[in-house]
Amino acid sequence: RVLAKVLRAIEQVAAPTAAQLLREAQTLRAQRQWQAVVDTYRRLLDAFPVAAHAAAVEVSLGDVLLRELREPEAALTSFRAYLMQAETPADEEAHLGVALALRALGRSDEERAAIESLLARHPLTVRAEELRARVRTLTRPSQGDTGRE
Query: What are the tens digits of pLDDT across the range 34-69?
Result: 999 999 999 999 998 877 778 889 999 999 999 999
What pTM was computed for the model? Answer: 0.79
Determine the pLDDT at residue 58.
92
Determine the pLDDT at residue 134.
97
According to DSSP H, which parts of 15-149 are helical?
Answer: 18-30, 34-47, 54-63, 72-83, 91-104, 108-121, 128-139
CB-based contact 135:115 (threshold 8 Å) = yes
Kindly give the confidence (pLDDT) of every residue in the chain, 149 residues in length, as a single tens digit, with 9 standing for 90 and above.
666 665 555 555 567 888 899 999 999 999 999 999 999 999 999 998 877 778 889 999 999 999 999 999 999 999 999 988 856 677 899 999 999 999 999 999 999 999 999 999 999 999 999 999 999 999 987 644 444 43
Determine the pLDDT at residue 84.
86
Determine the pLDDT at residue 90.
77
Determine the pLDDT at residue 140.
81
Q: How far apart are the first and last CA of the chain?
A: 74
Determine the pLDDT at residue 91.
85
- Region of residue 51 (phi > 0: left; psi between -120 and 50: alpha; otherwise: beta): beta
